[in-house]
């Protein structure tokens, strides 16, 4: 199976140049000018278009069982929707119920993901702690290619990780060469604020952001970063949504601490006015955590992305339809938390990022693909246009236009948080595993074609931290000498 992408401009994280890209058997075989290829090769005309690494969305929750229901998007429809938007690889989450085995949860999610149409990997959440959890973490790293462990500091009474879990798990992750990641919201504060709001008779979706003010994220972000600093481990903050959390990330990074920050396309483009909508269904459709924030926070997040203090963009694609969100009709704490976006991430970021000059095309590639590949140690297999890399590629039409709508999207959810947004710059072709799977609005996917991507431990930054540890070991007594 061979395919030639002809006449385009290759755009990578560090350069843009005219070149053809020749793919054979799922890999990029050649990148160069005016390539001649064997007869029978499928040819895509990319003249006037950009040829970029396929998007990597490091934060999705396909068919997640959560808050008494199951997310409406499954691995088949969700990965297909991703391909329609230029995303060729997702990193989803295995989330064991507290007290249950990480290994059995991992096998369950692997089974669910079999139907994926594009490649996928898994972070595994640590939602409780004992010696068996440590053992399962070791098995997952050494035998199953997991190199990142998630900690929900929110969701008290469900999957919340307290400080004991954070400290034990971060330490174990370091020993294994795996990256700890956190959902940074103080779950106790959320719980108490929710009770207070309900007692005041505030039961509608407008109560959701009031129960999660910025300081709820700011405190947890700082706490996770300080725990990582004390233990000398790296840490990755998912869905940074506030200036408070961004300031903690920025301070830590300016002091040389290995802290990574992720921002959602939604948090960059949607503000908290959505919760004032009188239509319950519209307001509830936007209930996700952390909540959408005032416009001022968006400006700060864009600066975080431009400055390099935030490295990746994601969607936290976790869909619930109106009938599912209605569970919280009389009590906002019962509205399943989550919104979609896996299909629209790249186009909304191109439109608001590249078309406005906030990001260069190369920075766009960094934040939608390459940085995630490097942080989660899949580079250059993923996140690159280079000989030997996976042939996961998006051909980008900078003049293409589209109005985003739930009426036309491929996502299996009855609402689109970007509804009505007009974008310029859209994917015209998506290539996954060297096959043309999306072409000018039409998907051509195969159920189960997706591969599980094993990610090795000890990404390069582990070696760097190791050297710093040697110079200034953790728990050393006279550290100030
Ligand atoms: O918190 C998360 O990331 C999961 C449970 C999806 N829901 C959400 O509101 N973000
Ligand atoms: Zn989260
Ligand atoms: Zn999430």
Residue whose CA is closest, atom 6 of ligand 1?
A: 338
The structural domains of the chain, with segments of one domain joined by +, span 2-52+385-398+425-443, 54-375
Stretch 225-250: mean pLDDT, rounded? 98
Query: Residue 94: which region, alpha, beta or left (left: phi > 0; alpha: psi -120 to 50)?
Result: beta
Q: What is the pLDDT of residue 481?
A: 56
Closest ligand to the CA of 220: 2
Q: What is the pLDDT of residue 380?
A: 98
Distance of alpha carbon 140 from alpha carbon 125, whole angstroms: 12
Q: How far is the CA of 61 from the centre of ligand 3 (A)?
A: 6
* Homologous superfamily, domain 2-52+385-398+425-443: Urease, subunit C, domain 1 (2.30.40.10)
Q: What is the pLDDT of residue 14?
A: 97
Q: How far is the CA of 318 from the centre of ligand 1 (A)?
A: 7
Q: What is the pLDDT of residue 474?
A: 85
Residue 337 alpha carbon, nearest atom of ligand 1 = 9
| Average pLDDT along the chain | 98
Are 319 and 72 within 8 A, CB to CB?
A: yes
Provide the residues around ligand 3 (an ion) whose CB is within 5 A: 316
pLDDT tens digits along 152-193? 999 999 999 999 999 999 999 999 999 999 999 999 999 999
Judge: domain 54-375, CATH 3.20.20.140.
Answer: yes
Q: What is the pLDDT of residue 8?
A: 98
Q: How far is the CA of 387 from the centre of ligand 1 (A)?
A: 37
Q: How far is the CA of 316 from the centre of ligand 3 (A)?
A: 5
- Residue of 143, 142, 138, 137 whose CA lies nearest to 96: 137
Which residues are near ligand 1 (CB < 6 Å)? 61, 66, 183, 288-289, 316, 318, 337-338
Q: What is the percentage of the chain residues whose pLDDT exceeds 90?
A: 98
Q: Ligand 1 test: best mutation among 57, 61, 274, most atoms within 8 Å of CB?
A: 61
Stretch 461-465: mean pLDDT, rounded? 97
- Under the banding of pLDDT at 50, 70 and 90, the label for residue 475 is confident
pTM for this model (two decimals): 0.98
- Spell 166-176 as b/e; 16+ CB within 10 A means b: bebbbbbbbeb
Q: What is the percentage of the chain residues whose pLDDT exceeds 70?
A: 99
Residue 451: pLDDT over 70: yes
- Under the banding of pLDDT at 50, 70 and 90, the label for residue 106 is very high
Residues in the chain: 481
Q: How far is the CA of 303 from the centre of ligand 1 (A)?
A: 24
For 92, 119, 317, the CA distances from 58, given in Å and listed in that order, are: 7, 12, 10
Residue 480: pLDDT over 70: no
- Under the banding of pLDDT at 50, 70 and 90, the label for residue 477 is confident
Residue 248: pLDDT over 80: yes
Stretch 100-106: mean pLDDT, rounded? 98
Q: What is the 3-state secondary structure (H, E, C) of the chain?
A: CEEEEEEEEEECCCCEEEEEEEEECCEEEEEECCCCCCCCCEEEECCCCEEEECEEECCECCCCEECCEECCCCHHHHHHHHHHCCEEEEEEEECCCCCCCHHHHHHHHHHHHCCCCCEEEEEEECCCCCHHHHHHHHHHHHHHCCCEEEEECCCCCCCECCHHHHHHHHHHHHHHCCEEEEECCCHHHHHHHHHHHHHCCCCCCCHHHHCCCHHHHHHHHHHHHHHHHHHCCCEEECCCCCHHHHHHHHHHHHCCCCEEEEEEHHHHHCEHHHHHCCCHHHHHHCCCCCCCECHHHHHHHHHHHHHCCCCEEECCECCCCHHHHHHHCCCHHHCCCCECCCCCHHHHHHHHHHCCCCCCHHHHHHHHHHHHHHHCCCCCCCCCCCCCCECCEEEEEEEEEEECCCCCCCCCCCCCCCCCCEEEEEEEEEEECCEEEEECCEECCCCCCCCECCCCCCCHHHHHHHHHHHHCCCCCCCCCC
């Amino acid at each position: 199976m061979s395919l030639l992408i002809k006449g385009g401009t290759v755009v990578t994280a560090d350069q843009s140049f005219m070149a053809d890209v020749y793919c054979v058997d799922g890999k990029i075989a050649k990148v160069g000018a005016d390539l001649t290829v064997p007869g029978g090769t499928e040819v895509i005309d990319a003249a006037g278009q950009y040829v970029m690494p396929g998007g990597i969305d490091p934060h999705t929750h396909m068919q997640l069982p959560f808050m008494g229901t199951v997310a409406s998007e499954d691995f088949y429809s969700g990965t297909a929707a991703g391909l329609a938007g230029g995303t060729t690889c997702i990193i989803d989450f295995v989330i064991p119920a507290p007290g249950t085995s990480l290994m059995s949860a991992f096998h369950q999610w692997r089974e669910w993901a079999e139907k994926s149409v594009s490649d996928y990997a898994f972070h595994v959440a640590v939602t409780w702690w004992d010696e068996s959890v440590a053992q399962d973490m070791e098995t997952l790293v050494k035998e199953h290619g997991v190199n990142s462990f998630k900690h929900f500091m929110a969701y008290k009474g469900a999957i919340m990780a307290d400080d004991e879990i954070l400290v034990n798990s971060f330490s174990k992750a370091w020993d294994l060469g795996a990256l700890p990641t956190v959902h940074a919201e103080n779950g106790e504060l959320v719980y108490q604020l929710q009770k207070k709001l309900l007692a005041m008779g505030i039961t509608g979706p407008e109560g959701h952001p009031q129960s999660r003010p910025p300081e709820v994220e700011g405190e947890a972000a700082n706490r996770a970063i300080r725990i990582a600093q004390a233990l000398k481990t790296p840490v990755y903050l998912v869905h940074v949504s506030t200036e408070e959390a961004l300031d903690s990330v920025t301070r830590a990074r300016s002091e040389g601490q290995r802290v990574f920050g992720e921002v959602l396309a939604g948090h960059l483009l949607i503000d908290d006015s959505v919760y004032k909508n009188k239509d319950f269904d519209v307001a509830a459709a936007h209930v996700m955590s952390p909540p959408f924030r005032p416009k001022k926070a968006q400006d700060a997040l864009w600066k975080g992305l431009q400055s390099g203090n935030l490295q990746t963009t994601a969607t936290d694609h976790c869909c619930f339809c109106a009938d599912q969100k209605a569970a919280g009709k009389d009590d906002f704490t019962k509205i399943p938390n989550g919104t979609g976006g896996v299909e629209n991430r790249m186009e909304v970021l191109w439109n608001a990022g590249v078309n406005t000059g906030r990001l260069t095309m190369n920075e766009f590639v960094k934040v939608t693909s390459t940085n995630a590949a490097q942080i989660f140690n899949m580079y250059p297999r993923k996140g690159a246009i280079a000989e030997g890399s996976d042939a996961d590629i998006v051909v980008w039409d900078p003049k293409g236009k589209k109005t985003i709508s739930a009426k036309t999207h491929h996502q299996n959810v009855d609402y689109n948080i970007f509804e009505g947004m007009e974008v310029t710059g859209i994917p015209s072709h998506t290539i996954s595993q060297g096959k043309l799977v999306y072409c000018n609005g039409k998907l051509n996917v195969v159920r189960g074609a997706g591969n599980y991507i094993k990610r090795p431990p000890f990404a390069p930054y582990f070696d760097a931290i190791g050297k710093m540890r040697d110079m200034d070991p953790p728990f050393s007594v006279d550290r100030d000498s």
